[in-house]
Amino acid sequence: MSLNETPEESIYTVNFRKAWITPEYKRTNRVVGILREFAKRHMKTDDIKIDQYLNRYLWIRGKRNPPRKIRVRMTKDETDTVVVSLYEEFKERKSQTEDLEVKQEVERKSRTEDLELKQEVQTPEEQPAKKKKKEAGVKEQVELEDSTKKEGKDAAATNPDEANKKEPEPKTVEKPRKKSTRKKKSVDQET
């Protein structure tokens, strides 16, 4: 090939039926080998490179369950290197799904931002309600203190000097332990 020529490009459908003759746990390895052999035979060169997207497509279902057949594009460049890649239709579908994923992520982010804005908007409305609840709780505590003062139970509230004084705790008297009435076995056995 001279430098002025455009690279050769061909589209093939490769059938992988021979891969099902091999053991189950070697099928995808065999599919890659069949693809390389096919490219060598049809493009008449030994320098074969498999595109990463094609490789992922072959291995996506594991080593036991590769695809039965596949449509590929083989491109031969000036240095007689053949690049085997997926046919454009799959790439287009894949790019469309990637576009959908990007759109979904943008929608998720906008939803979370909307929720955050709503929470910020709701917080000033909720703050007066919280203040009212706190005020109600404070009023209840004041009412309880007033009722205990009237009953005379809260001495600390009436006389602050008495609140600082601590009442001595009554001491508890411990009873002495009883000695056991059992005799030691070793003493009994010697006598």
Q: What is the pLDDT of residues 87-115, one digit of tens each?
A: 976 556 566 667 777 777 777 777 777 66
Look at residues 62, 79, 68, 83 and name the one whose alpha carbon lies nearest to residue 34. 68
State the average pLDDT over residues 31-43. Answer: 96
pLDDT, average across residues 54-59: 94
Distance CA 83, CA 10 (A): 11
CATH class of 8-86: alpha beta
pTM equals 0.46
Tell me the per-residue pLDDT of 103-156, one tens digit each, with 9 for 90 and over. Answer: 777 777 777 776 676 666 555 555 666 566 666 666 666 666 666 566 555 455
Q: Give how far Cα 43 sits from Cα of 82, 89, 93, 146, Å.
A: 7, 22, 27, 99
| Domain spans, the chain | 8-86, 91-130
The SS3 call for residue 10 is: strand
pLDDT above 70 coverage of the chain, percent: 56
